[in-house]
Structure 1
Amino acid sequence: MLRAAVYPLAAVAITSLGLLLVGPRYAAGLALTGFATVLGGWVAARTALGGGIQAAGIAMVRLILAMVLKWVLVFVALALGFGLWRLPPLALLAGIAIGLIFQVLALARR
């Protein structure tokens, strides 16, 4: 579970540092949504897998709740980035993409 959070976190941090060459607002946008994606994945994993052995109905509810929590966190970060801080849209969307891609790659690696 920790590996699924560390690899995307490192990828978002390195890409965000690279975007400092383009501008600090781009780096902040990517960092905001990238870290929100990583944090959302970690919260989802803790919610879905943290309950121990339970009945099938309860396990399904935990999985659905975990996914909803993850995406609520990501959408709140997008709303803050777009609406409140007026960060560049491409950087905001790239942060989500990088976070999700590296999360899947970390989970697929054995």
Structure 2
Amino acid sequence: MLRAAVYPFLAVVALALVFLLISTTHAIAALASGLAVVAGGWLAARIALNGGAQAATAAVGRLVAAMVLKWVLVIGVLAIGIIQFRFPPMALLAGIAVGMMFQVLALARR
């Protein structure tokens, strides 16, 4: 579970360092949205996997609730970043894409 948070975090930090070559605003935007993905994934894993042995409907309910919470967090950060802070949308989307991609790669790796 920790590996699924560490690898995306390192990838998002590397992306932010690359965006730092463009501007500080781009780097902060990529870091903010990428950290939202990492935090949302970690929070979703804690919610989905901390139930112990349960009936199938309860387990599926926890999985659905975890995913909904994760996406509400990510979309909320995206909306606040664009509307409130006027961050560059492409940097925000790049942070989300890199965070999600490395989250999946970390979970697929044995």
- The alignment-based identity, stated in percent, is 59
Query: Which runs of structure 2 are paired with 1:6-45 in the superposition (5 Å)?
Result: 6-45=6-45
Counterpart for residue 72 of structure 2: 72
Give structure 1 stretches of 5+ with no counterpart.
none
TM-score for the superposition, normalised by structure 2: 0.98
Structure 1 residue ranges, 4+ long, deviating more than 4 angstroms after superposition: none
**1:39, distance to aligned residue in structure 2 (A):** 0.4
**1:17, distance to aligned residue in structure 2 (A):** 1.4
Counterpart for residue 60 of structure 2: 60
Query: What amino acid maps onto 2:43 in structure 1?
Result: V
**1:88, distance to aligned residue in structure 2 (A):** 0.3
Query: What amino acid maps onto 1:34 in structure 2?
Result: G
**1:18, distance to aligned residue in structure 2 (A):** 1.7
Query: What amino acid maps onto 1:61 in structure 2?
Result: G
Distance 1:56 1:104 in 2: 24
- Secondary structure at the residue paired with 1:53? coil
